[in-house]
Structure 1
Amino acid sequence: MTRTLESPLHMRRDGLDPVGELALARDGEGVVRVETPFGLPAYLVLRHEDVRAVLADPARFSSALTPMPGAAALDAGERERLRAGQLIGFDPPEHTRLRRMLTAEFTVRRMRRLEPRIEEIVRTCLDDLERAGRPADLVAHFALPVPSLVICELLGVPYADRAGFQERSARMVDASLPPEEQAAARREDRDYMAGLVARAQADPGEDLLGMLVREHGDDLTTDELIGIASLLLLAGHETTANMLALGTLALLRHPAQLALIREEPERIEPAVEELLRWLSIVQALPPRTTTTDVELAGHTIPANSLVICSTPAANRDRAFIDSPDTLDLARGAAGHVAFGHGVHHCLGAPLARMELRLAFPALLRRFPGLALADPDERLGFRAFSIVYGLDALRVTW
């Protein structure tokens, strides 16, 4: 059951924009006290420079000390099992040990080998969108299936299971759900992944999970394999799907910007960076816990305090970029924190960038008359999701 609660400051939006209150807090205090959806007090860090400082300093801002959502509903043994392999929940050197087993699979060079297959998947999903007829839901027929197919093939997850893992993923990132429901979703996800890992251990294939079993089976426990697979599956489709949906909405609301990448497709790489910055779909980066008293933006944050970094506020900081509230696809926005920063910088960033770089131009080429089918007031934004997005986006052409 969804709770009736007020959206926390760092998750408040006005359509595609963060609320003005967030900008006022950033330009004023810089760090403010807030309460998380789970009732825990936290310090919200808002300025670009300060966010990067937090993310670059795992010694003072620890991921390992931060409790996972719904942890209170779990016993100690279950907490450890669910935490195993979750890179975002560890500090160096444990984080380094886990990450180096995956880094080679997510290099730009390795991702380029996937480009022909991703192009094929994009074409297939565009065919499905066209067959659905006008108006059609872009989320159901394009934005969600493209990254889901890609990550399923990469990991070795049966695409036929997509309805189940998409539903569990949506529950795991829904901050409005009680901790018990989030914990239940994590249990279900772990049980599903345990079955996949067992099959990979019995007969490792050529996919990423098979590679981990063959090359690192002696270095990773079964629980760690399950955790790594769970994290990659969740991150691999949830974020890119919402970027494709919200990015399309942003382009349709800014026709001059849309025309720029339709008429000059070579501009797509800086355009993707600007969309990542401007939309900042990850509402806040995974929380940290201070290991000592810390001075930040003129404030003292005590030891053992929860710290949350606001991605939308940091990426729209005037101290970081000129005219931050303007969508300008020509500028590229280097230095944004949409993928985080430091040791926890998103491992899958090269894959996400490639999917976006291929999908947006293909969509605009196939449907030159693409337009919204519904007025703005009928759009259903996922206000309480840790990954901001849309329930649906009906389009016509």
Structure 2
Amino acid sequence: MEELPVQLADIQNAADLLEGVIERTPMAHSRALSEILGTEVFLKCENLQRSGSFKVRGAYVRMAQLSSAEKALGVVAASAGNHAQGVALAASRLGIEARIYMPRGAALPKIAATRSHGAEVILHGNTVDDALAEAKLYAQQTGAIFVHPFDNEDIIAGQGTLGLEILDQVSDVDTILVGVGGGGLLAGLSVAVRAKEKELGKKIRIIGVQAEHAAAYPPSLAADALVPLKKVSTIADGIAVGRPGQLPFTIIKSLVDDVHTVSEDDIARALIFLLERNKLVVEPAGSVPVAALMSGSLAEKYGDLGTTVCLLSGGNIDPMLMLKVIQRGLSAAGRFMTIKLMLTDRPGELTSISRIISEHDANVTGVDHTRLGGALSMGDVSITIDMETKGAEHCKEVIAALEAEGYQPIVVQ
């Protein structure tokens, strides 16, 4: 490990710096996941960390080691949420002025939370990349210290303290699952875990997890070079990074066993599961380790994962996004269905459909009745029905019942 840019000593030094600054977040045993998967599953609840995510760890370690002259110049960063709040909180603890660039579309609660820590928030551009470019320009023009979200040794060391905590809380862990964006968290954690394996007398499987439409690591690892994505699109905005960081990539390719991908529906289902069964509010990026477990694909690839820890990296979810994700998660789990039907516009048609749905124990929650539209012929009507259902098989049963009586429902979601 001598060639790696971050060593165990760096992480231990980071842990000393963070003493009394951050929370030692709880490690919760998930009975629900353990029963479903047939193995012991623990949840490292970093969603309960100060500022709502792990980001404050790296930000504080980076900024605490600045010289007095550097601190006087202030810091600047760019983020759509978690890194912004982490930098703002660290700056307030250290008495450093902070300017944070956020894209104009950033969630209002995240903007408000960042400002509440005393940081100056500047809304710039439509993407994080736009904000990032402006933050770097400001650093060049003023001398302010740019705090990168993941491509920095101190940042990686700070995030790596989570590896030490996990091993201390679940010393018999066999598999650790971690969400991956730029890679700073996975890189730091892997350094800590690999350095401790000899002491523990066992090999621990470390798996990164990315959203399939924001997965820059699999192609980069295959090419042994940074491969930027042409497009990034995912509800997991906390890991929506189109290009791995060079420093994290160097570490991850050496120490991590695999980087796995999950679908948007997998993420939504996991978020709902954590909310309902574990009473935990977790943002989409924080739920991807559980999404990977629940998808079943890891078990297919590796068999028995043994005692598993899922790192829930953050809980900063915008309420409006939560509404959308909950609906998508319920739909993916077969507990919510929207159908569309074309009907003849005559009395009794809607009553007939309502009867069929009711007889098969589905609960209608919304109806949209439209007579106008370019696709509608004279005498036709378009009906869209939202309903609560009891699972995938129940959805099929309702659809089959409608088809049996001559209707042609189309499942919208």
TM-score in same-fold range (> 0.5): no
Larger radius of gyration: 2
Higher strand share: 2
Higher helix share: 1
Normalized against structure 1, the TM-score is what? Answer: 0.29
Of structures 1 and 2, the one with the larger relative CO (CA 8 A, separation 6+) is: 1
